[in-house]
Chains A and B, each alone.
Chain A
């Protein structure tokens, strides 16, 4: 695993496989340090892409799911925000699938059907960012108190964090 020539080979194979299967959808491909391939795709293609990863490429280890609030460059959503979900996979090299969701009522299909280990990561994103995962068997808060009824605490983090540290 992980010889220099081998780097990012899996990521390339994944993009290749996806382009063949879904010829009319556009995928963007990036690399993150350290040697992590990022494939940005529409949310509807997430499950098929994970299936390609698992069945064709033999990657089954989901490291974690990162949610991140990004400013919406295209101005699609009313809030002006995008929620990016990054699914970090690992098999001797890192492959990250990235889907972008609208800031208003973000919703995506759950991964727990394919990878039961994703359950806690999805629950955490649900409570922290308010992303709903369709078909999740047990979508309850993971860390927050049971009687928590304020808005998801990480949601407007960029703005609030800026305010907290006194930036203009």
Chain B
């Protein structure tokens, strides 16, 4: 059969992300793929240099539309380290609470996208229905569904009383039932497995070579999780498991992500149960002492790393962001080699692309 070049993206129903692929297809087989990035490159790193530390929080919140909170958290941690601020434990707990809620939100959203791409609209609708619980909690907590604007340099700007905490705990119970039910579906539903097993396989060696992070790495058997490995407060006081799978295919990634969502529900509950009393923020100076800092956090998609250099003014001299999507993008040509045309959407959604993150 003759070769066809199938363009996918930057706008395509397969891929709701501004990323362009040119797939060379023989019949139903993909033989070659070429990728083009940069459709949503906004020059955020450059913009950061022209704005104050305070303004940058809101700019960096918009790096990603899903894991917005973890970006500002990582940035604030870097700036706080430069300023030598010691954060009150309540602030750390509240930050972690939102990080975990965001992780559930991200994984539910991802499950919906995957289900949609394999033509399983019911799971798509259910996953997004249950994600709505998380969004409600976050909206109630912070005033925004995805752009929370919770972090300030020196802490957080939200607080919650006991009544609010009990409401959240109740909502978490409901959420846990739903997420565990979804986990059961992912584990047992056979048509879903038929479409995701053995697709987009990355071996442990591949993952290490390409320095892949997050659920994609964990689904290939690499046990990394910065929450645990970096011993960040308050995660060092929490009990949770880091799900790891060794199949390395999309199904393993699905399992890892949904299990992580379950673990995150447990984590949220622990955070709320052990929420220390006290202030939620400390006063931060406007001018940050000169120096440089590197901070890392575990975003829903994996390691986020920020490098911030200050020259002593109220503007950062350099902010470098590395988002986890960039690490999985580099594996895509490997994953796309010799798959069926029908599986392209599964492979692409399997790594949980966020092109806005990658392009910045």
Contacts and interface: CB of A to CB of B under 8 A. Distances in A.
Direct contact of A and B (CB under 8 A): yes
Interface of A: 1-2, 32-34, 36, 60-64, 66-69, 86, 88, 90, 92, 94, 96, 115-121, 141-145, 153-154, 157-158, 161, 164-165, 167
Contacts of B326: 120-121
B43 interface: yes
Contacts of B269: none
B103 interface: no
B239 to A, nearest CB: 17
A1 B296 CA distance: 15
Contacts of A161: 46, 49-50, 315
A142 B37 contact: yes
The 10 closest A-B pairs by CB, nearest first: A117-B211, A64-B322, A33-B81, A143-B38, A161-B49, A117-B210, A66-B320, A143-B41, A33-B293, A66-B307
A143 B307 contact: no
Given A34-B81, A143-B359, A157 B49 contact: yes
A117 B212 contact: yes
A144 B42 CA distance: 10
12 contacts: A33-B82, A34-B81, A61-B224, A63-B296, A68-B309, A90-B296, A90-B303, A94-B296, A144-B38, A157-B49, A161-B50, A164-B50
Interface residues of B, number: 43
B229 interface: yes
Given A33-B82, A157-B46, A157-B49, A2 B41 contact: no
A88 B294 contact: yes
B294 to A, nearest CB: 5
Main secondary structure, interface of A, reads mixed
Contact of A94 (B38, B294, B320, B359): B294
B329 interface: yes
A68 B311 CA distance: 13
Contacts of B330: 116-117, 119-120
A115 B291 CA distance: 29
A61 B305 CA distance: 13
A115 B209 contact: yes
Interface string B214-253: 0000000000100001110000000000000000000000
B340 interface: no
A165 B209 contact: no
B315 A165 contact: yes
